[in-house]
Structure 1
Amino acid sequence: MSETFIDRLDRYKEYAGLNDNQITIKSGLTVGIINSARKRGSSLSGENIEKILRAFKDINARWLLTGEGEMIQNDGAFAASNSNNDSLTIYLGKENKELKVKNEELNREIGKLEGQIIELKKRVLVEDVAKCVIASGSDLAVENT
């Protein structure tokens, strides 16, 4: 099965770190229209595709419509027409996604280290109690905690 318009739009979404809602709002589309087209296995109207292309000037229209060429325009016309804000938004979206993944990894590592600290504190407490018992005589009872 060949790639559909919606498949290509989804690829762009992933590349740009966007979701359906963000594309809908920025393009001025009807809420839910992208997901509805996805579920129906259809495309969007020409008018709606034009709105997407006007809102996301870095998308190569030929690629979005036919799958031919590169996803992102790299020609001088794009560079002249594209606002720096669009490129910056896409870049920051990708960076934010990468930072969220790194943050999750670090939080998991912190959880492991906190568990190790708790175990070490328990061990030290037991060893300290044992040392106190030895120092004060063998007639004291030792409770394990």
Structure 2
Amino acid sequence: MNIKERFVEYLKYKGIGQTAFEESAGLSRGAIAKKSGFNADSLEKIIVSCQDLNISWLLTGSGEMLIDKNILQEVKQPPVPYEFVQAMINERKQHDEMNAELIRQNGKLIQLLEESKKTVAVQKGDNASCADASGSGLEK
């Protein structure tokens, strides 16, 4: 028995039609019925869609068709403690507040810089008029 034959056996066991599975898993129509084997993309879609399918059995035929539900439960991650989540939320709020303050300070600095540029421009204009001695009677 090859991979496709084993997969068809799995679908029959689960009571899932080939066309229905192809559509739900994103496989091309007729991908299961084709005589050629599955490509890597198709196998990946099958693995993602069939969480209880023993991949070793699918590929080699050895072992059981289905993964033991007890094993699946052991593999799942334990829930994250509420205190940890709350601490992360509080830290995020502090970071948001600090970012808001930094944005406010940046706005003030930009405003001061613009005012400073205007002051420098006015001072340059005053210096230029002071340097012009025409009409002052100090000309040679």
- After TM superposition, the score normalised by the length of structure 2 is 0.49
Please say which structure displays the higher CA radius of gyration.
2
Higher helix share: 1
* Larger RCO of the pair (alpha carbons < 8 Å, separation 6+): 1
- TM score, norm. by length of structure 1: 0.48
